[in-house]
Structures are given as C-alpha cells and as structure tokens.
Amino acid sequence: MDASHIADDLTHVLYTDAQIQARLAEMAVELDEVYKDKNVLMIGVLNGAVMVMADLSRHMTSHVENDWMAISSYGSGTQSSGVVRILKDLNTDIHDRHVLVVEDIIDTGLTLSYLISNLLSREPASLEVMTMFRKPDAANNDVEVKYVGFDIPNEFVVGYGLDFAGKYRNLRDVGTLAPHVYS
C-alpha cells in the first residue's frame, strides 16, 4: 500500500520506502562485517518486525538464521499494563550463539528491557539489538540499542510493520497517523 492510498489518514510521511530500503542496505553492510564469521541468529519480535527482518535479511550477503518471539506488555487496551508476557518463545537454543534482536520500533523500552533480560539468562555468546525506528523522547528504560535505522519524533506512527488496530502494517512508507483516525 502506498501513502497516496490513505493520504487522509496521515498528517505526513516521515520516511519513504526508498529511504527505508537505503538505510537497511547500509545497516546490512555493517552487520555483514560484524557477523561475517559468527553464524548469527536474528530474532524478530512479532508482529511488527516481520517487514524489517525480511528486508534486512535480503540485503545481507552473509548467511543468517531467523527465529521469532511474540511479547506483550499490553492488556486489552492501548496503555501498557506494565506486565510483560511471552506469547511465543523461540524454537532455537541460543546458548553460545551470536544473537541479534530485530525490532520494528522502540518506544518506552519496557518490553525490550524484559526481552533482553530473558535472553541474557539463556547465555548467548553475544546479544545486540537492532531497531528500524526509535523514539528517544519516549524512552523510560535504559536499553542499549547498537543499531538504529532512524530516530523519530514521539508521534503515533504507522507503516512498514507498525500498526493501529491491526491496520497500516502493509503501508510501504512510515507516517504519522492523523488524530481523527484514533480519537
């Protein structure tokens, strides 16, 4: 889906598909160098990281393995409950593996902080975090993120895996959702 198809739902486009793909290609070069001899396992955080991990994997020239986790820090509403739960765990043993956690967006960092603690208890050889988007003004947990695609404003954004009520994940661009859509 292109932003032009839903122009009334967005206040503006932050990053186009072309900009996102160019940044992923740059990050892939760096990651290929870092993990060239290390048999990296990329762990995607469902559902939002599907687009990022698929495209990042395709930009890389080295072999990578993929696995997925589903984590929730939300109850039935739109506000975080403060309780983090694993909804789907890994199928892969990460003991002594080089692990790269791939996120679509880091907002407050609550869920990621829990995830990192959980994964470190499994004793990987190394553990780093990559996110396509980060909201530095929203962060309230000290989580080290080594690879960041773009820092974005603390706005309600959709597209490229980011959703509102299950919609907009297939938007190729990332844009700020118009308040009339979620009010």
pLDDT tens, residue by residue, 28-52: 999 999 999 998 999 999 999 999 9
* Both tokens assigned to 7: 């122009």
Mean pLDDT, residues 74-98: 79
Predicted local confidence at residue 110, as pLDDT: 85
pTM of the model: 0.93
* Position 82 confidence tier, pLDDT thresholds 50, 70, 90: low
Q: How far is CA 155 from the centre of its chain?
A: 16
The catalytically annotated residue of 107, 151, 163, 173 is: 107
Mean pLDDT, residues 4-32: 97
Mean pLDDT, residues 138-163: 91
**Architecture label for domain 20-74+83-152:** 3-Layer(aba) Sandwich (3.40)
Q: Is the CB of residue 118 less than 8 Å from the CB of residue 143?
A: no
Report the distance separating Cα 146 and Cα 122, nearest Å. Answer: 20
Q: Is 17 a catalytic residue?
A: no
